[in-house]
A and B are shown apart, each in its own frame.
Chain A
Amino acid sequence: MKIKLIFILTIFFTGTLIVKAQEDDLESLLEEDMGPVTEKVLGTFLSTYVLNNHSVELLNKNGINFRISHKFGFLNTGSDNFYGFDNSSVFTGIEYAPADWINVGIGRGTFRESFNTMVKIKLLEQQTGAKEIPVSIAVYSELDYRTKKYVIEDLQNDKSGRIEYTSQLLIARKFGKKLSAQLMPGYTHRNLVETREDINGIASVGVGASYSLLKRLRLNAEYYWVQEHDTPAAEYFSPLSAGICYQTSRHAFELFATNSTGITSNNHIAYTTGDFFGGDVCIGFNISIVFSVKR
């Protein structure tokens, strides 16, 4: 009987001691109380752009992004054109974030002479830990209004015919610390097309990727599958771009090679006439200046 009691007592005290020993480490006790932590995944892409197209990243509230995009002509146009450097396609735009989840912007591009408005809305943000969300999702929508004069005088007043728009779903995931990928299914609609053979609506699926070389230097690439919309008058290709992205505290730069001379999503999805592997490659760069309106 006595032995049994001693036995029970021993077990009891050992138990208490173990509990005590665990409690002694305040840090682990606190961590236990905090429970599993949920963490946002940051820096899926360095800037709000992959190269041509928008990335899933948004400016934070009150942020402003002033952006100049420039593309030269095709390198294979010969020495009389200084290998394309005589030509240029320029887009100047400004984006603003009224809230963390929404960015709006306006811009003007020389390619097909159009004004551009855009809106990007964040739907989901990738998270790890207790509440895991595997991907970040944003919707992007833009509308181009062409101001170029029509050859046919009768069309001059057809305002709605000047409108083209693209909507995309941007689904991105950061894999580990260095690699990110983005899938971009989208639909482009042109209210008025050039010929009878042209189709108005074009479906597309883009993929973008980013790989970290240094903390603020990344290798980015972008490719689109675009629904066949060739006509007897024009042949279109899938836009392919590859280049580097570099970021300083207030600027983002992208320098890349691409077969697309259009700059907005409408233009690079629907009007890429360069054959990348046939040598129709041009050099493009974007300069973004990011600042905050508050202070």
Chain B
Amino acid sequence: MKYLTIKFFCILSLSLLAFNSANAQKYMTKTGHAYFMSHTDAIDIDGNNYQVAAIADTETGELVVIVLIKAFEFTLATADKHFNETYMESDEFPKAIFKGSVPELKAIDLSKNGTYDASAKGNLTIHGESNPVEKTGTLEIKDGNILINCDFNVLIDDYKIKVPKSVEDRVAKEVDVKIDLSLSPR
């Protein structure tokens, strides 16, 4: 009886330990930064979003990033209305999601500070359209946090974002996007 109880507690504590360590492998943020720039000869339109949420699992290398479309802030006064209502249709498609993996997350030593080149591969969903993507960026470990930096281009045609003929020269076909995340242990 006594032996069984001890065995039971051993298993219990081991399982709890396993459970805890499983938790510690996840890193997240709710205040990541996304920036985009649509550059044309006629006009530059850019927006900042400081409410990007992301989660990474260092055991599997998985990364999920969610960008709330309505949270973009613009310098140009009239941009936010057209961005949300005409182009992104954010009532219908409130978020953009990246779901994929960063293999480097598994390989690197998270306890040591350092900067690494990294690549992300997965699916990017914007405006309700999903496309497979593969992007490169940098990954930095700093005091136990994971900093992810990534610049890439988005072809708006790929995501079925329609631009009226009358403003074709004012909205770039290829939009530059920058993502800046600082993930801390969950």
Residues of A within 8 A of B (CB): 1-2, 5, 8-9, 12-13, 16, 19-20, 23, 26-27, 29-31, 33-34, 37, 39-40, 42-43, 59-64, 97, 177, 215-216, 248-250, 290-295
Contact = CB atoms under 8 A, between A and B. Distances in A.
Is chain B's interface secondary structure helix, strand, loop, or mixed overall?
mixed
Contacts of B94: 37, 39
Interface stretch (B4-12, B137-145, B147-155): B4-12
Contacts of A295: 43-44, 75-76
Contacts of A23: 22-23, 26
Interface stretch (B83-91, B106-114, B128-136): B83-91
A63 B77 contact: yes
B97 A27 contact: yes
B100 to A, nearest CB: 10
Interface of B: 1, 4, 8, 11-12, 15, 18-19, 22-23, 26, 28, 30, 43-44, 53-55, 57, 62-64, 66, 68, 70, 74-82, 84-86, 90-91, 94, 97, 99, 164, 166-167, 170, 186
B66 A31 contact: yes
B80 A60 contact: yes
Given A30-B53, A30-B55, A294-B76, A42 B19 contact: no
5 contacts: A30-B64, A61-B77, A62-B76, A215-B86, A249-B86
Given A177-B91, A249-B164, A295-B76, A40 B70 contact: yes
Contacts of B1: 1
A59 B78 CA distance: 8
Given A1-B4, A42-B91, A60-B80, A27 B64 contact: yes
A42 B85 contact: yes
Given A8-B8, A33-B28, A34-B66, A26 B78 contact: no
